[in-house]
Amino acid sequence: MPSNKSVSDAPIVQFTNCRILRDHQLQREDLWVREGKILNPEKLFFDEKGSADVQLDCKDSIIAPGFIDVQINGGFGVDFSLATDDFKSGIDLVSQKILSHGVTSFCPTLVTSPPSVYHQVLPQISVRNGGAHGAGVLGAHLEGPFISKEKKGAHPEHCLRTFEAGAFQDLLATYGSLDCVQIVTLAPEMRRSSEVIRELTKRGVCVSLGHSVANLSQAEEAVQHGATFITHLFNAMLPFHHRDPGIVGLLTSDKIPAGRRVFYGMISDGIHTNPAALRIAHRAHPKGLVLVTDAIAGMGLAPGRHTLGQQVVEIDGLNTYIAGTKTLSGSVATMDTCVRHFQEATGCSVETALEAASLHPAQLLGIEHKKGTLDYDSDADFLMLNDSLYVQATYIAGEEVWRQDVSGM
């Protein structure tokens, strides 16, 4: 039988003394990694007669898949909806800083902007793997401008658009390109939205429903045409009503096509959604819940005035408002904070809380074969956490990219 070296010369790292999140359970196993992938130890022992080159004692940590944030508008003074010549350095800064929050992949999110901003910014976003330089970029999330004026939230009204004749061409002209676009949030009650949803879905773009006054049948029709996500459930949509529950009704709709799952984003920061509403959503449709930060440029900065695209926002504690109003505008919560708050608010298991920030967003984007799990052959993007779900270390492709500094503690 060949030795492991004939298969690959790359070192094999064995993480010991840990509990691994696998198959929805924390399991007391070792984690084996080689060349950025998670190894099946049985194959290693029996087929390759191989063994570990390096052993790392995890000191009873939890090992969970890296978090995936599919809605993040910026952070640390960087606003993804502001067109600048050094936009790439802004992406680099945020991707580096969010490693400490346990985020290993993300979708830079642009709020409603003029076409000129999309034309300048989108060519500067490129899908890339994560590493020591920062979290991986999965593609852009374009939230607007094809959304409802009544539910615009923090989006600038003068930039909102409707679908005219040749709706999909209109969308292409607005954005300039869909090359690096992963998600588009739109209001499904708009005329001609069905053809747009079908075209986007055909091109592999995830369509999300949000900033909308859609009733339930309009939302169901959008799902039948290919929409699979709801942008920050409860926020910027009609409130639940027992005779017509609106978009919220998708969580228990019997009109979802067979074999399809509707996912929904939740900003679990204790401000955007009351804990009781978080519990209702989670109990109604636990497998669809995706934690998002909806973080803005002010995340990681002191309170005061910051931007969100075309608007000025004020941060007061964990509250962020459009300046001079009480309109909420994104959050300053970090992903690890959202995971802890979600677990505390719902009383769910540790496994459930961690999967809402890893497995579910990966399933939403159709990348669960390589991200969001610790299955064999998937990418070795993972976190070490303590029992209170504080991140101790972040790994991408099996390499440590961030560790909590414990000196002086």
Q: Report the distance separating Cα 295 and Cα 393, nearest Å.
A: 22
Cis peptide preceding 286, ω within 30 of 0: no
Task: Say which of 69, 79, 269, 294 is annotated catalytic.
Answer: 294
Q: Which residues are annotated as a binding site for substrate?
A: 154, 235-236, 243, 272, 328-330
Single out the residue of 35, 46, 45, 42 nearest to residue 13, CA to CA.
Answer: 35
Respond yes or no: is residue 179 known to be catalytic.
no
Q: Report the distance separating Cα 332 and Cα 266, nearest Å.
A: 14
Question: How many angstroms from the chain centroid is the CA of residue 268?
Answer: 13
State both tokens at 212: 């909308």
Q: Which residues are annotated as a binding site for Zn(2+)?
A: 143, 211, 232
Q: Report the distance separating Cα 231 and Cα 207, nearest Å.
A: 10
> What are the catalytic residues?
294
